[in-house]
A and B are shown apart, each in its own frame.
Chain A
Amino acid sequence: MEEKILENRDDLFAFAEFDEHESEHIAAPQYSYWKSVWRTFIKNKFTVAVSILLLVLILFALIQPSISGYSPLIAPNINNSEMRFLKPSAEHIFGTDNVGNEVFDVVWAGARNSIIISFVCTGINMILGILIGALWGFSKKMDKWMLEVYNVISNVPFLLLAMILSYVLGAGMGTLIFVMCVTEWIFVAFFIRTQVMIIRDREYNLASKCLGTSTWTMIKNNILPYLISVIMTYVARMIPSLISYEVFLSYMGLGLGVTKASLGRMISIYTSYMSGYPHLFWIPVTVLAVLSISLYIVGQKLADAADPRTHM
């Protein structure tokens, strides 16, 4: 037995050729950041369910109004008092409102505008805020005067700005988006600045700086990935808060104007019917709450998933 193995020794082993490609290979498990985010995100069944609900709601809000063709300027049943304040039923899913319109149509038309406004504003504010905030956090020279700019801008009353801008530019979607972005970005920037300041002096950044990495590369590769979870949390809070803003502005008579449906104006009109026709109050508030809460939850879970420490 022993001899046999010894005899066959030459057959068992052969000299390997030197492979340059293989020698460069590092035998660590494959790691892709975004794949890991995705994997962590879909691991939780509850999160997936909420995300699907959110997606369905958004798609429905985007598509339904073009089918119903609802416009606040057209109220076909305005003179038909029998059509007003109907309770929800099979025929009128969400009932009818004070001018005889289907609440179902009004809600989705309103939801569409509110969703568009809050998403567009969040996008603009986050992009501006992150870019400026990252530079602001890095440059001490910039910090000195940006703090004063922040002090000034954050103290000009938002309402004054909103009222005068909507007076000068005229009420409308564009104005509303402009009003919601014109000062809001500086709060994002200030938040990002503080976060950047916390991690800019860590050892790995110091090392990176010593190796001659440019500021912009450091922001892009060393710092922003670290901030993705914080940014996601911020986004998750910002979208519902912008919808609330829109409600507030509509309540003050500064929203989209009468020609466009919005959840804000709807809620501010319908709240006065709360004791007599509670469905008029509850339906838009519920739609808004479901939308905001699911956005908030998805945002929070995305933030959790975006934190590399949860990928292990």
Chain B
Amino acid sequence: MNKGYILSRLIRSAVSIILIMAIVFVLVYTLIPRNSIFAGDDGYRKLAAKPDDKTDYVYNIWQKQGYLTFVRSADYFQTLYDMDSPEMAAALQPGSDAAEEFKAKYEAQGYTVETYTKSGRYYAYKDVPIIKHIAIWFANLIIIDTPRSVQDENNPDLKRGLSFGRTESGGLALIGSGTTHKYLLYTDSHFPWLHQNIIKLNFGDSYPTYQGLNVMTVLFQSQGSEVKRPVTYETGKEGESGIIFGSLTYKFKLDRLDRQKFADNYATFQTAKNQPSMIGTSFIIGIFALILSYGLGLPIGVLMARRKDKLADKLGMVYIIFIIAVPSLAYIYLFRYLATKAFALPSVFTTYGASDIRSWILPTISLALPSIAGLMLWTRRYVVDQMSQDYVKFAKAKGLSQREIFNDHIFKNAIIPIAQGIPASLAGCIAGAIITESIYAVGGMGKMLPNAIQQYNNTMVVALVFLFSTISVLSVLAGDIILIKIDPRISLAEKAGRS
């Protein structure tokens, strides 16, 4: 295989992803008015009676979201004078010399200076150009946890270094001090058994929905209610908790309860819950739907091709045309209606919850319905096309049986274009299925993007687009590599001599 070709494809993929992100940034951060992000925010609504606090709140959020940089005159004075000094008090008066100096200084730097409606003090803001906004986003995308990560003024004696040891639950671990995470690498009894906290993707905090939570936490944290178990903490204290020891991170302000449980500052943790994460839920449904659709779609497609223009073929075509012609919303509702009447299966996921296998059956089959039809159609097409090839006639002339010809000769050739699509369908599982998940009330990824857009959760939209498009661009590449591997005749690189 041509390594240079793969490398150039990877580079081009990276360029594509950057361009996609640029388009999305322009769409999200310039076309949607920035005031609309507060539409669903309760904190904003409560500030209606306090105009100055509201101004602070609004500009702070915009600064956090990367729209602009924001400076309050009071903050500026703090860098010049002591907190309670008379100079400070004088400077804070509206119209003081220091205030005018602030105005002149920031206006010279291109800031817009305005006054708070009540106190009459100045504040300054400057829009961040969209290109810079994108650059900052990419620069903060990957966070590497090092022993210098935590900078805590109140804890100057914090040791910095790495050591090997065990987690509270007994697994082997690489323990960091001065790092954000306590356990940088650790093993436990959960899939995938070896976990790492060294390199993390950082998309920023979610706002206004899932406020204060990191986007990655929202997507990957298990959902539902906490599963408690008896645990022994580091200090020897015993209790009931769903704590995941591997998730311990540095906490700047410890309270009394934290001190009882933990010997050091690593006291923030996530808890184990009874339902899989959003990505996990979609992935479980997606994977089983994928297995189902390949398991049914391929053999039925081959069967249809073998019985071309006979009853089996015609029945298959009726199914395919039905799926193409009827909107998925309608046939999923219909399927759910028929299936719940015929079998004792719940019509929504939440009836029995994630722990009951019955909840998963209908969403999985519903998701597989269209892909079965698609696979049937294409498998049939490819097999029919192969059947008229010369090598098939030759195999027949050699005296091979019909079964041998199909299994050993035709199927191997017909499967090539289908195998190329497998990585893309695998990646599609992560994106979730909007209609299926909303009809069955499944807490998966499908609803995340539409909800995030409707609720103006810009950080979430940008993060999801990045995840989905990266996975999809890479899976196209993976599909091409599979194509080359299983069919040596195909070459993707440009051949010398053929322009």
Please report A residues at the B interface, Cβ cutoff 8 Å: 140, 148, 151-152, 155-157, 159-161, 163-164, 167-168, 237, 240-241, 243-244, 247-248, 251-253, 264, 267-268, 271, 274-275, 281, 285, 288-289, 292-293, 296-297
Contacts and interface: CB of A to CB of B under 8 A. Distances in A.
B31 A164 contact: yes
Given A159-B450, A167-B32, A274 B333 contact: yes
Contacts of B91: none
State the majority secondary structure of interface residues on A: helix
Contacts of A251: 329, 435
B330 A285 contact: yes
Contacts of A292: 324-326
A248 B334 CA distance: 16
Contact of B16 (A148, A248, A253): A148
B449 A157 contact: yes
Contact of B23 (A148, A152, A240, A247): A152
Given A160-B461, A271-B330, A274-B333, A289 B449 contact: no
A276 B477 CA distance: 49
Contacts of B329: 247-248, 251, 267-268, 271
Contacts of B469: 155-157
Question: Closest 4 A-B residue pairs measured CB to CB?
Answer: A292-B325, A247-B327, A155-B469, A244-B327
Interface of B: 12-13, 15-17, 19-20, 23-24, 27-28, 31-32, 321-322, 324-330, 333-334, 337, 434-435, 449-450, 453-454, 461, 464-465, 468-469, 472-473, 476, 499
B325 A289 contact: yes
B328 A248 contact: yes
15 contacts: A140-B499, A148-B12, A155-B16, A156-B20, A160-B24, A160-B453, A160-B461, A164-B27, A167-B31, A167-B32, A240-B325, A244-B328, A247-B329, A252-B450, A285-B327
A267 B325 contact: no
B96 to A, nearest CB: 44
Contacts of A274: 333-334, 337
Most buried by B among A151, A247, A293: A151
Contact of A156 (B327, B465, B499): B465
A268 B329 CA distance: 8
Given A163-B450, A248-B329, A267-B330, A156 B324 contact: no
Nearest to B332: A271
Given A241-B324, A251-B435, A161 B27 contact: yes
Nearest to A292: B325
A59 B23 CA distance: 42
Contact of B327 (A151, A155, A243, A296): A243
B321 A155 contact: no
Contacts of A140: 499
Contacts of B465: 156-157, 160
B472 A288 contact: no
Given A160-B28, A160-B461, A247-B330, 15 more contacts: A140-B499, A148-B16, A155-B16, A155-B20, A157-B469, A164-B28, A253-B454, A264-B327, A267-B327, A268-B329, A271-B333, A281-B333, A285-B326, A289-B322, A293-B325
Given A152-B23, A167-B32, A274-B333, A159 B327 contact: no
Given A148-B12, A155-B16, A164 B32 contact: yes
Nearest to B331: A285
A130 B336 CA distance: 40
Nearest to B330: A285
Given A155-B473, A156-B465, A168 B326 contact: no
A168 B15 CA distance: 28
Contacts of B15: 148
Given A155-B16, A155-B20, A155-B469, A163 B324 contact: no
A297 B449 CA distance: 35
Contacts of A237: 324
A253 B330 CA distance: 16
B23 to A, nearest CB: 6
Contacts of A160: 24, 27-28, 449, 453, 461, 465
Contacts of B337: 274-275
Contacts of B325: 240, 288-289, 292-293, 296
Given A285-B326, A288-B326, A296-B321, A168 B449 contact: no
Nearest to B13: A151
B449 A156 contact: no
Nearest to A290: B325
B23 A156 contact: yes
A251 B19 CA distance: 30
A253 B453 CA distance: 12
Nearest to A140: B499
